[in-house]
Amino acid sequence: MRRILQVTFIALLTIFFLGLFLWKSDLHDVWRIMTLTNPYWLASAFLVNWMALVFRTIRWRVLLASPNPPAFYPTFFANTTGYMLSTVLPIRAGDVARPALLARRTNVRFATALGTVLTERVLDLFSILGIFLFFCVLRWNAFPNGTGVVHGGAIGCTIVLVALVVFLIGLYFFSGTVRRLHERIGRILPRRFREPWMKFFDAFAKTLAITERPRDFFTVIFATAGVWLCLTAQYWLVFVAMHRQLPYDSTFFISGVTTIGVAIPTPGGVGGFHKLCQWALTSFYGFDIDSSVAIALILHLVGAVPVVLTGVALFAREGLRWRDLTHAADDVAGDTTSQS
């Protein structure tokens, strides 16, 4: 019954946001606009999106921080498959699937890999907040009708960034105290989960030691910059492909806004991504409804198709089936809890 209610809620939420997105649009005009897209610029956008997977894999291998990091292919396989799941499912399933698949194919432990996934999330949060704050400062008074959004966004980003910095500094210099607090919180969990809970914390805290390895630290920074250069450049390339002249920094704003849309629990961000992208284009850049619908659809395709196709190709190459992901997660979870 609970599963049925969950699926029903997700379906209704998706329909609601899609309805808002398509409201008052002329689908014939939307299709006409989409057919005018330059295929070469669009292909460049697909390629740039795919390159983000490569940068993510480079970063993840360094964050795993073992003397002998896992080989590139199994890391790329786990990474891409995980992001494929996050792209098509209404939850961040890939954040668990990635370490589970990596643990089955390498000597990296599941808890260690899961801790580095959290580190990646922190790095990406820093990045999206940083570029959004840069946009807000750069365009402080550029949008008379959106001043509240720009100023409020700048204040909100600053607060979260300061809180993150304070937390990380505290974790780095007072790791023992923070670990004891984490351990106390873990006491509310069933006993078999307490050791994995602490291993997860230790793996995350251990990644902070990367600041003591300058080469690895700068590799992670470079790879993170590469990821977000790709994720913003793909938007700009779509604008060029669809004959829309927007400044490059507009991609910083739209990336931040659509990140909120993707967080809405619909399959692959469908509906939420589109509506918030449309809102940004119409409210800040003067797009009409049909143009905003066409561009939002193309942007979503560019963000999803390379990941999904690569993930499916790797799935087929490995001879895997959908249920193998469930077995991987169950096996790893069983191995982890059996050690407590």
Task: Say if residue 334's pLDDT is above 70.
Answer: no
pLDDT on residue 6: 79
- State the CB neighbour count (10 A cutoff) for residue 255: 21
Task: Say if residue 331's pLDDT is above 90.
Answer: no
Q: For residues 78 and 72, what is the distance between their CA atoms, to the nearest angstrom?
A: 10
Q: 340: pLDDT confidence band, cut at 50, 70 and 90?
A: very low
pLDDT on residue 337: 44
Q: What is the mean pLDDT of the chain?
A: 87
Residue 49 · residue 299 · CB < 8 Å: no
Q: What's the mean pLDDT in 129-138?
A: 95
Q: For residues 94 and 119, what is the distance between their CA atoms, to the nearest angstrom?
A: 15
With b meaning 16 or more CB within 10 Å and e meaning fewer, what string describes 294-311?
A: bbbbbbbbbbbebbbebb
Q: What's the mean pLDDT in 142-171?
A: 91
Question: Which one-letter amino acid corresponds to residue 201?
Answer: F
The CA distances from residue 193 to 115, 187, 306, 317, in Å, are: 15, 9, 36, 34
- Percent of the chain topping pLDDT 90: 50
Task: Say if residue 131's pLDDT is above 70.
Answer: yes
Q: 326: pLDDT confidence band, cut at 50, 70 and 90?
A: low
Residue 49 · residue 254 · CB < 8 Å: no
Residue 95 · residue 209 · CB < 8 Å: no
Q: What is the pLDDT of residues 251-285, one digit of tens each?
A: 999 999 999 888 888 888 888 999 999 999 999 99
pLDDT on residue 328: 53
Q: Taken in order 179, 83, 321, 300, is the CA torsion positive or negative?
A: positive
- State the CB neighbour count (10 A cutoff) for residue 141: 8
pLDDT on residue 306: 96
Q: For residues 52 and 307, what is the distance between their CA atoms, to the nearest angstrom?
A: 10
Q: 170: pLDDT confidence band, cut at 50, 70 and 90?
A: confident
